[in-house]
Amino acid sequence: MKIAIDAMGGDYTPLVALQGGCEAARVFPDLELILVGQEALIRNLAEKKKIQIPKSVSFCEAEDVVEMKDSPVTALRKKKQSSIMVAADLVKNNEAHAVVTAGNTGAAVAATVLKWRLLPGISRPGIALPVAHHNGISVLMDVGANVEAKPSHFYNYAIMGKIYAESVLKMSDVRIGLLNVGEEEGKGSSEIKEIFNLFKKSYFNFIGNVEGRDIFNGKCDVIICDGFVGNIVLKVIEGVAGALFQLTKNEINKTFLSKLGAIFCLPAFKRLKRKVDQSEYGGAILLGVNGVCIIGHGSSDNRAVFNAIRVAREFVMHDINRKICKEIETNGSL
């Protein structure tokens, strides 16, 4: 299996792409990794940092770099030789099975839709985010592929989220919830009420409206929302977690006794960090395009890139797109 890594997109690339890719090559002997980007620059970096590049890691030249601030349109029109465009081309030409990127999300969505097209029956792609909590994992979708989602797009997300939960997360009888401002039927905007009715009449195991707090309690498996709300929620989660860790640190540092106590708690804090650390989950998954694309956080470190590669490998192995197509053939779409 071959996985193309967008080695230039993201805050800490190409270094973390190089490190994460090399580690994945060592851990997964069945993988070939292709670093897509400025080869000379990356080879120089490897030399400087004394990173041994395994044989299963190769390069594919891409001279342009999409910046985080670039609009998807700019990325597509003016940077045709960008790492994300070239990586998407590799999959299109059957030279790779999946793309991993920590770069500009909008550009990744635009490039893969342009190059790969959408799956039959899917009218808009969506980004699924696995969220870990003390009762397991929930999937939040869409977290930012499409900020003006129509009811039919919500329906698409529910199909894709269901298949993701079934095939990769091994859930059965997947419970679908609609993110809303209250649990009761009749809550929310007129569009949300329309979607509620659509879901109610569908073949989904639809448990009704869920609220923001239900993302973290296992009340349902897949939580559907539009990309505007989902992206804000994603960043609120990061923000709250960061703020709480900072506040805890400030309070603990105030006395000697609590500093000492914190030393005793260190292993517990480390396990906690590992549990909530998004870099352990390999980022979000772009679903609906005719290919596999894993989108890591812009601030991905080498561990996050490694995990994104691990997740990409799982998605290819589980042949999720074929399962989505089969689901739509059997149950229809909107």
216 in Cβ contact with 209 (< 8 Å): no
Exactly one of 46, 122, 129, 234 binds a second copy (CB under 8 A); that residue is 234
Q: Does 257 bind a second copy (CB under 8 A)?
A: yes
Which residue in the set 27, 40, 44, 261 belongs to the binding site for a second copy (CB under 8 A)? Answer: 261
Stretch that binds a second copy, among 32-40, 89-97, 112-120, 209-217 (CB under 8 A): 209-217
Instruction: Please report how close the Cβ of residue 241 comes to a second copy at its closest, in angstroms.
Output: 6
CB-CB contact of 139 with 221 (8 Å) = yes
Output 22 or 215, the one with its CB closest to a second copy: 215
Please report how close the Cβ of residue 276 comes to a second copy at its closest, in angstroms.
7
From the list 60, 11, 53, 15, the residue with the least C-alpha distance to 38 is: 60
Query: Site for a second copy (CB under 8 A): which residue of 227, 282, 288, 291?
Result: 227
Size of the site for a second copy (CB under 8 A): 65
Residues in region 26-45 near a second copy by CB under 8 A: none
Q: Is 108 in the site for a second copy (CB under 8 A)?
A: no
Residue 136 binding a second copy, by CB under 8 A: no
Residue 303, number of CB atoms within 10 A of its CB: 17
Name residue 169's amino acid. L
Judged by CB under 8 A, does residue 93 bind a second copy? no
Q: By CB under 8 A, is residue 322 in contact with a second copy? A: no
- Tell me which of 265, 317, 319, 322 binds a second copy, using CB under 8 A: 265
- Asked if 11 is part of the footprint of a second copy (rule: CB under 8 A), the reply reads no
Query: Residue 45 is encoded by which pair of tokens?
Result: 């970096």
List helix spans (H) across the chain.
Answer: 15-27, 39-48, 72-78, 83-92, 105-116, 151-167, 190-200, 227-252, 256-276, 302-317, 320-331
Comparison of 38 and 138: residue with beta carbon closer to a second copy: 138
Q: How far apart are CB 282 and a second copy at their closest, in Å?
A: 20
Site for a second copy (CB under 8 A): which residue of 229, 304, 316, 324? 229
Rounded (10°) angle between helices 151-167 and 190-200 = 50
Q: Is 78 in the site for a second copy (CB under 8 A)?
A: no
Distance CA 260, CA 257 (A): 5
| Structure token pair of residue 237 | 């989660």
Q: Sheet containing 292-295: which strands, arranged edge to edge?
A: 57-61, 32-37, 2-6, 98-101, 292-295, 284-287, 126-133, 136-141, 222-224, 175-179, 205-210
Question: Which of 83, 156, 231, 321 contacts a second copy by CB under 8 A?
Answer: 231
User: Using CB under 8 A as the criterion, what x/- string covers residues 150-179 for binding a second copy?
Assistant: -----------------------------x
**Closer to a second copy by Cβ: residue 241 or 325:** 241
- What is the three-state SS of 24-53? HHHHCCCCEEEEEECHHHHHHHHHHCCCCC
Is it true that the peptide bond before 14 is cis, omega within 30 degrees of 0? yes
Instruction: Note the residues at the interface with a second copy (CB under 8 A).
Output: 69, 71, 133-134, 144, 147-148, 179-181, 184, 186, 188-190, 192, 211-217, 225, 227-229, 231-244, 246-248, 250-252, 254-255, 257-258, 260-269, 271-272, 275-276
